[in-house]
Amino acid sequence: MQPNLKSQHKPDYFLIFVIIAILLVGTIMVYSASSIWAEYKFNDSFYFLKRQLLFAGVGVIAMLIVSNIPYFQWIKYRKWIFIGSLILLVAVLIPGIGMVRGGARSWIGVGAFSIQPAEFIKLAMIMFLSGFLVNHQDKITEFKKGFLPPLFLSVVVFLIIMLQPDLGTGMVFLLTCFVLIFVAGAKIIHFVFLAGFGVIGFLLLIISAPYRINRITAFLDPWQDPLGTGFQIIQSLYAIGPGGLLGVGFGNSLQKYFYLPEPHNDFIFAIIAEELGFLGAGFVIVLFFLFIWRGILTAIHAPDLFARLLAIGIVGMIAIQVMINISVVIGLIPVTGITLPFLSYGGSSLTLTLCSVGILINISKYRQ
């Protein structure tokens, strides 16, 4: 399955330009959204900006390195990458190893130097599942031999993520796996059959944790408990509303003054809408659409099935995360707690995302 290296093209520079543009917007907005909180907590308004620049620098270097590794090399190491990521994911659940933040045991490390294994398992699963689907392409239309094994593995990993618990990351992970299985050629009727069990399982997940029920009720009527479960979404809407067409101006957000929780993390899009208005928020969405468009083109013109699945898995993962995050911020779905790719503050998420697009850039070199 190794392509002829002599047929290698230059990378998709337009794709690279879009990635860097989103990253620059994110870095600037992280500073604007976090400066007040950073000044209050650390007496340094540039605290989060400096860390984000460090994360972005490491991520860009990783992206450049990965973009020069032929994509077909990953198929040889996909099992070990997946097993290593799975071990880290399970290790998080062990008391004394996993770190609890925001009510979830999702981190592993020491102090500020920590990683979130759930982020790495997403890319590891894309690699592993792409290779598995290539090797079982002739059976993918069969329910028991082709459809059920990758589905079962995906659900098992999803349940491990839910033990942390981390519903947002789990949903992105599971939906990405579904996209890969579908693109590989699975029958639609199998997904219809799966949907019934999915609804039941989702209801059980909601019932099993009272805070999830509170999030649902807060989504339906946030003003029923404006100082409790509905507080975050109300403050997000209060940020978006005054933004209007042109926004209140860069750095002039009111909601970042301790009203909107996590303004530089999950809800950074609300600050973008407040300060840059509809046009600024629309520009960010357009950048994401351009990224998805170029990513899909890369998948379509990929030289083989493994490259095609790998590309569509990476694009699907990022696209699903973008749609869920923005939908939460504007009040279309309940709060799930996931970051906005390239834009939200964070080390594991940003580094993993840049590594992922590095693989996508490499695949674009072999387009046909």
Q: Are 250 and 258 in contact (CB under 8 A)?
A: no
Q: Pick the residue with more confidence: 202 or 239?
A: 239
Residue recorded with tokens 């239309």: 141
Q: Which of 87-101, 136-150, 186-200 has the lowest mean pLDDT?
A: 186-200
The pLDDT, as a whole number, for residue 146 is: 81
The pLDDT, as a whole number, for residue 230 is: 74
pLDDT tens track for 250-302: 888 888 888 888 788 889 999 999 999 999 999 999 999 999 999 999 999 99
Does residue 336 surpass a pLDDT of 90?
no
Q: Are 314 and 363 in contact (CB under 8 A)?
A: no
C-alpha distances out from residue 263 to 105, 270, 275, 341, Å: 22, 8, 12, 15
Q: From CA 47, how far away is CA 264, in angstroms rounded?
A: 12
The pLDDT, as a whole number, for residue 119 is: 86
CA atoms within 13 A on the CB side of 296: 10
Chain mean position to CA 111: 23
Q: Which of 164-168, 200-204, 303-307, 353-357 has the lowest mean pLDDT?
A: 200-204
The pLDDT, as a whole number, for residue 27 is: 94
Estimate the crossing angle of helix 148-162 against helix 74-91, to 10 degrees. Answer: 40
The pLDDT, as a whole number, for residue 237 is: 85
Please name the amino acid found at residue 281.
Answer: A
Q: Classify each residue of 113-132 as buried b or exposed e, where b means 16 or more C-beta atoms within 10 Å of its C-beta.
A: eebbbbbbbbbbbbbbbbbb
Domain boundaries, the chain: 26-68+223-368, 86-208
Q: From CA 170, how far away is CA 176, in angstroms rounded?
A: 10
Q: Given phi > 0 = left and psi -120 to 50 = alpha, else beta, which region is 342?
A: left
Q: Which of 83-92, 187-196, 359-368 has the lowest mean pLDDT?
A: 187-196
Residue recorded with tokens 């600024």: 280
With vertex at residue 131, the alpha carbon angle to CA 128 and CA 135, rounded to the nearest 5 degrees, is 135
Q: Output the pTM of the full model.
A: 0.90
**Residue 253 neighbours by CB distance under 10 Å:** 28
Segment 200-209 shows an average pLDDT of 68
The pLDDT, as a whole number, for residue 288 is: 96
Q: What is the CA radius of gyration of the chain?
A: 21
The pLDDT, as a whole number, for residue 186 is: 82
Closest CA relative to residue 304, chosen from 214, 368, 221: 368
Does residue 225 surpass a pLDDT of 70?
no
Segment 35-46 shows an average pLDDT of 89
